Amino acid sequence: MSIEQKGHSGSREWAVEARGLVKTFGHNHAVDGVDLNVKAGTIYGVLGPNGAGKTTTIRMLATLLRPDAGSARIFGHDVVKESQVVRQLIGVTGQYASVDEALSATENLVIFSRLLGLSRSEARRKAAELLEEFGLTEAAKRPLKNFSGGMRRRLDLAASLIAQPPLIFLDEPTTGLDPRTRNQMWETIRRLVKTGSTVLLTTQYLQEADELADRVAVIDQGRVVAEGTVDELKMSVGSSSLHLRIKNSQDIVNARQIVDRVLNVQSSVTAEGGKMTAPMAEADRVTDLLIALREAGIELAELSVQKPTLDEVFLTITGHGVEEDVSATPEQTHKEGEAR
Amino acid sequence: MNSGSIKPAHERQLRNKTSFIQSVRHSLTMAYRGLLKIRRTPEQLFDVTFQPIIFTLMFTYIFGGAISGDVKSYLPVVIPGILVQTVITTSVVTGVQLREDMDKGVFDRFKSLPIARIAPLAGALLADTIRYTIATLLTFTMGYIMGYRPDGGLSHVVIAGLIVIACSWAISWIFAFFGVIARTASSVQGISMIILFPLTFLSNAFVPANTMPDWLQWFVKINPISHLVTAVRDLTNSGTVGGDLIISLVGAAVIVVIFAPITVRAYMRRT
């Protein structure tokens, strides 16, 4: 039958292909021409501040919102024309737990399982299995009103996994979770991908994208402003930098001259003194520098190499920071940019 | 995850249509969800429990003497009236709860599941028939305690009860429509009561129509509620089936035919 053929003609390589997605709410261009390509079997991070259009994008991809313009395919199936097929391939975990508050954890999972076509006994088994897996067995019979935020998210994710969908959307899966629960959630997401799932997650946390995502799209004001692997994004901002701390702060001027001469760059000294930062284009030169410093009798207290953080990436790309306290000095980033 | 790796998308058999049987199954599961919710929060049955008891007592003892001479002879008039009024008022809750439900996160999940689009609606409406059943049982029970002995016999009382439940279910589609298009649950309640209050009181439910002025009689006679009340009276008091019953059932069917599609369409657009 033609239906079956469609299933087989589906894309094997791309879990998500979105072209020029647009969604407007009144005068607000929530999503303004987003392109996304997500390879099957990977974790893809959509990174952006609040109100950037992340959730709206996910809702369009998950058939919850109809795009005003553009198109999107999930494993080769159009989200508008073949929405019911797409729904068989995805699991959605929303920003606000999409589970039934009035019911218990087991009842929630049983109902979702029944809706997905499992028999009564299969549904019971599946619910028990998932609760066990997500460490919710003890709370299985309690109403969700008494659940903590972390438990609710876990249940929500469990509910998304009933049909073992090949693509899972996670909208800010760890927002509002404490660090321990957040780490558990990350572990779960990594395990998911190991079993062959594709995960598309949104996050406002740069660290989260850094930890999890194979590729990242940075979204700002409804547009993708940068795309690539986390490393590529960091590279686009600047090379790694060398951080040095000098034991005797009176040596700093001397040390700085040596650094500038040997590495052939402009270094900078931080306000606290005794600390220097220099762009590091070639790692080999560091050996020369260390030898030169020893010959000059300058002792080092600490030496480290740092890749640029995603905070810097975001700042450079969008022109405004994600958070108020941008720890890295913007001046330094610009210098690195010039140095390249 | 324990159960091994996930089946890749291209190896799955996928269908873009939901079959009728699946739609029915999904709706029944959603109705089951509605029943579970009632069991978890039994306080939402307050209205269907107390309204029949209080209204039956109140109306019978207040109007009984004035309208029919004494309470006992008023019972065959007022019990069918209260039954229809109470059960139909109960159907407003369907719209209110639907609105509240749709604002919750769980509806996002229902929408993202490959289930029949009508299932969350149909399920909610189906589950609410339990409320109508409770209201119906309690009204008849109150009547019995107060001395109401319907001449039509038990079987006709049961049939009358079922007809009231069926008609209320049909009417609940109207309130479901308000529930889908309204912005807040309280506005659903407001709109519904404004419609329902005149409709139930400007009928022959409590007072015989021939005591009213002509212009009002005209409305009372075309009011579908009056026809339903008369149909119930015929069944319970004499075990007869008249034209009123047919009018009531046809009216109910017309409501479903009009409101079910527009409600579903509005629901889909909202989602």
Cβ-based burial of B219 (10 A; exposed 0-12, middle 13-18, buried ≥19) = middle
Reduced to 3 states (helix: H, G, I; strand: E, B; else coil), residue B50 is: helix
Helices and strands counted in chain A (H then E): 13, 14
Q: Are residues A127 and A38 in the same domain?
A: yes
Domain presence at residue B114 = yes
CA B177 to chain A, closest CA, distance in angstroms equals: 20
Q: Are residues A57 and A125 in the same domain?
A: yes
**Percent of chain A at pLDDT exceeding 70:** 87
Q: Indicate whether A297 pLDDT > 80.
A: yes
Of A185, A218, A234, which residue constitutes the final position of a domain?
A234
Report pLDDT for A325: 37
Using CA coordinates, name the residue in chain A closest to B2. Answer: A133
Report pLDDT for A204: 86
Report pLDDT for A320: 62
Q: Indicate whether B157 pLDDT > 60.
A: yes
Q: Please compute the mean of the pLDDT values over residues B147-158 and round it to a whole number.
A: 90
User: Looking at the partner chain, which of A12, A88, A94 has a beta carbon nearest the beta carbon of B10?
Assistant: A12
The Cα–Cα gap between A227 and A224 comes to: 7
CA B142 to chain A, closest CA, distance in angstroms equals: 32
A167–chain B Cβ distance below 8 A for any pair: yes
Domain coverage including residue A205:
2-234
User: Looking at the partner chain, which of A11, A87, A101 has a beta carbon nearest the beta carbon of B112?
Assistant: A87
Q: Please compute the mean of the pLDDT values over residues A152-165 and round it to a whole number.
A: 90
The Cα–Cα gap between B5 and B241 comes to: 63
Q: Which DSSP state fits B104?
A: S
Q: At what angle do helices A252-263 and A285-295 cross, to 10 degrees?
A: 150
Tell which wins on pLDDT, A86 or A242: A86
Using CA coordinates, name the residue in chain A closest to B4. Answer: A195
Domain presence at residue B3 = no
Tell which wins on pLDDT, A2 or B241: B241
Residues A54, A221 contacting (CB under 8 angstroms) = no
> A223 is written with which tokens?
């547009």
Report pLDDT for B271: 59
Q: Are residues A45 and A182 in the same domain?
A: yes
The Cα–Cα gap between A120 and A100 comes to: 19
The values of phi and psi at residue A70, to 5°, are 85, 180
Q: Indicate whether A6 pLDDT > 60.
A: no
Range of weakest confidence among A1-15, B59-73, B242-256: A1-15
Q: Could you tell me which of A231, A218, A234 has the C-alpha nearest to residue A57? A: A218
Q: Indicate whether A216 pLDDT > 80.
A: yes
The Cα–Cα gap between A261 and B81 comes to: 100
pLDDT in tens, A121-154: 999 999 999 999 888 898 888 888 888 888 888 8
Q: Are residues A98 and A243 in the same domain?
A: no
Among A130-144, B164-178, B204-218, the range with the most confident prediction by mean pLDDT is B164-178
CA A46 to chain B, closest CA, distance in angstroms equals: 20
Residues A286, A293 contacting (CB under 8 angstroms) = no
Report pLDDT for B246: 92
Q: Are residues A230 and A250 in the same domain?
A: no
> What is the pLDDT of chain A when averaged over all its residues?
83
Q: How confident is the model at residue A338 (pLDDT cuts 50, 70, 90)?
A: very low
Q: Indicate whether A114 pLDDT > 90.
A: yes
User: Looking at the partner chain, which of A84, A89, A96 has a beta carbon nearest the beta carbon of B9?
Assistant: A89
- Provide the number of structural domains found in chain B: 1
CA B30 to chain A, closest CA, distance in angstroms equals: 8
Residues A281, A339 contacting (CB under 8 angstroms) = yes
Whether B108 and A99 lie within 8 Å, measured CB to CB = no
Whether A99 and B105 lie within 8 Å, measured CB to CB = yes
Contacting B residues, span 187-216, partner chain A, CB-CB under 8 Å: none
Q: Are residues A47 and A102 in the same domain?
A: yes
Report pLDDT for A319: 67
Report pLDDT for A285: 83
Reduced to 3 states (helix: H, G, I; strand: E, B; else coil), residue A74 is: strand
The Cα–Cα gap between B126 and B238 comes to: 31
Q: Are residues A222 and A331 in the same domain?
A: no
Domain presence at residue B17 = no
The Cα–Cα gap between A67 and A222 comes to: 13
The Cα–Cα gap between A258 and A265 comes to: 10
Reduced to 3 states (helix: H, G, I; strand: E, B; else coil), residue A171 is: strand
Report pLDDT for A9: 46
Domain coverage including residue B207:
23-34+44-270
Q: Indicate whether B138 pLDDT > 90.
A: yes
Of A185, A204, A234, which residue constitutes the final position of a domain?
A234
Q: Indicate whether A314 pLDDT > 80.
A: no
Q: Are residues A174 and A277 in the same domain?
A: no
Of A182, A209, A234, which residue constitutes the final position of a domain?
A234
Question: In this prediction, does ipTM exceed 0.85?
Answer: no
Q: Are residues A210 and A242 in the same domain?
A: no
- Provide the number of structural domains found in chain A: 2
> Which of A98, A113, A122, A171 should one mutate to test binding to chain B, selecting the residue with the greatest count of B CBs within 10 A?
A98
Q: Which DSSP state fits A320?
A: S
pLDDT in tens, B112-123: 899 988 888 889
Longest dimension (CA), chain A: 82
A8–chain B Cβ distance below 8 A for any pair: yes
Adjacency order of strands within the sheet including A69-74? A28-39, A14-25, A69-74, A77-78
Which residues, in sequence order, are CB contacts of B82 under 8 Å at separation 6+?
B52, B55, B56, B59, B139, B205, B206
